Amino acid sequence: MNLDFDKQGGLIQAGLIPAIIQDAKTDKVLMLGYMNQEALEKTEKEGIVTFFSRSKQRLWTKGETSNNFLHVVEIMKDCDEDTLLIKVNPDGPICHTGADTCWNEANESGQAGWLNHLKAVIRDRKNNPSEKSYTASLFEKGTNKIAQKVGEEAVELVIEAMDSNDDLFKGEAADLLFHYLVLLEQRGIDFDEIINVLRERHGK
């Protein structure tokens, strides 16, 4: 990864670039740290975020004392190649105060935001199929079978809607939503495109 570690110069410290840490599931920005080339290489190699501490003047692995490590999901560079965005799965609170983020925000985006994580998992099962994966087996059967499964789940949801068992109803609703997302992925249509259709209708 080609990055300009010297561009920041006197603004911060030569050889360091900002690294923005973002939760891969909630999209919340968790903290900001700084990396030199050695910290980046260690992060890439171990899959755990390591910074260069300006106060300690050494490499510092987040969680080395608290065990609240940051597990790397993806590392991205910006258009100027002088700032990193690192998406992570955190082990616990990020801030030394015990808060979820260094801005004292709750690390959550609402339950609906978790759908982005589910969409990513479904896409991965399609692109990297495994014999043990139920989702991968759906993609293997093709569009017609996936669409048929969505129809079956819709009927089961209707049946449960006529009863008074909320747990069964929620279970069938979850099954329908899951298979619907699989069908969208099979068709190459992102769920956000469906949301945009709803927004357009709402605006009329």
How confident is residue 8, by pLDDT bands cut at 50, 70 and 90?
A: low
List pLDDT tens digits, range 99-143.
Answer: 999 999 888 766 666 788 889 899 999 999 998 999 999 999 999
| Residue 169 Ramachandran class (φ > 0 left, ψ -120 to 50 alpha, else beta) | alpha
This prediction's pTM:
0.60
Residue 100 lies in a domain: no
Looking at the 3D structure of the chain, how many domains does it have?
2
Same-domain pairing of 157 and 187: yes
Is 1 a member of any domain?
Answer: no
Shared domain for 187 and 122, answered yes or no, is yes
135 in the same domain as 52? no
Residues 26 and 79 grouped into a single domain: yes
83 shares its domain with 163:
no
Please write the tens of the pLDDT for every residue from 189-202. Answer: 999 899 889 888 88
Which tens digits make up the pLDDT trace of 15-70? 899 999 999 888 899 999 999 999 999 999 999 999 999 888 999 999 999 999 99
pLDDT beyond 90 at 203:
no
Q: Which amino acid makes up residue 51?
A: F
Distance, in Å, from the CA atom of 18 to the CA atom of 4, rounded to the nearest integer, reads 11
The answer to whether residues 131 and 79 belong to one domain is no
140 and 86 together in one domain: no
Q: Are residues 80 and 115 in the same domain?
A: no
Largest CA distance in the chain: 68
Amino acid at 190: D
Asked if the structure places residue 104 within a domain, the reply is no
pLDDT given for residue 112 in this prediction: 67
Domain membership flag for residue 159: yes
What CATH number has the domain bearing residue 16? 3.10.20.810
Residue 2, pLDDT > 90, answer no
* Structural domain of 32: 9-90
CATH number at residue 148: 1.10.287.1080
- Determine, yes or no, domain membership for 167: yes
- For residue 175, give every residue at least 6 positions away whose Cβ sits within 8 Å of its Cβ, in sequence order, or none: 153, 156, 157
In a domain, 4, yes or no: no
